[in-house]
Amino acid sequence: MAYSPTELKKGVVIELDGKPFRVIEYNQKVVGRGGSIVNVKVKNLIDGSVIPKTFKGQEKIESAEVTNQTVQYLYNDGSSYYFMDPETFEQFELSAGVMEDSAGFLKEGESLTLQSFNGNVTNVELPKNIYLTVTYAESITKGDTTSSVLKDATLETGLTVKVPAFIKTGDVISVSTEDGSYRERKK
């Protein structure tokens, strides 16, 4: 399937020079006589590099043949991350380089989606938000409880995020996997 430049929305996976790229930013400029120029930033799903790209008019962009596989995260040993296919119980490992941005959000036993291109895993697809337990949160001083005060909190995966002053150790909070920001406390 081929895309026209105006179909390149955020999240679409395309193939450029034989490599898979995901569109992470999209901007369209309409020029005179009905033409348009589309500027995108694309992330290489193999090495993680981000490059700007410009497409004009009626160019055709090939979609990348990416396959998705649901897996269960088991554990990591520092240099590799281990997963299991829940249907066949087959286990496999991924290097820490593939997992770099996702590592702080992985909780043992959690299900997630791995994306593959030509048989090689290129990306770990996390949900938009995940719930994690706060294992340590700084205490606040009395009277310093305005809503704008933020403090550091360490989560069960080792990730540290800025949270409002009312969050305490043991709370379960929602964290955005896109930027690692606090979203809400689980009720």
User: How far apart are the C-alpha atoms of 83 and 112, rounded to whole Å?
Assistant: 10
pLDDT of residue 114: 84
Domain boundaries, the chain: 2-62, 66-125, 129-185
What is the layout of strands, in order, in the sheet containing 172-176?
Answer: 160-164, 150-155, 129-137, 172-176, 182-185
User: How far, in Å, CA of 87 to CA of 69, rounded?
Assistant: 11
Rounded to whole angstroms, how far apart are CA atoms 18 and 118? 10
For domain 66-125, give the CATH number: 2.40.50.140
How high is the pLDDT of residue 112? 87
Q: What is the pTM of this model?
A: 0.67
pLDDT tens-digit map of 63-72: 888 888 899 9
Q: What is the pLDDT of residue 143?
A: 63
Q: Give the largest CA-CA distance in the chain.
A: 64
Q: With the C-alpha atoms ordered 10, 93, 95, 176, is the resulting torsion angle positive or negative?
A: positive
> Does CATH number 2.40.160.100 belong to domain 129-185?
no
Residue 44: is its pLDDT beyond 80? yes
pLDDT score, position 142: 65
- Per-residue pLDDT reduced to its tens digit, 140-161: 766 655 557 788 999 998 889 9
Which option is the CATH number for 2-62: 3.30.70.20, 3.90.1150.10, 2.30.30.30, 3.90.700.10? 2.30.30.30
Domains 66-125 and 129-185 agree in fold: yes
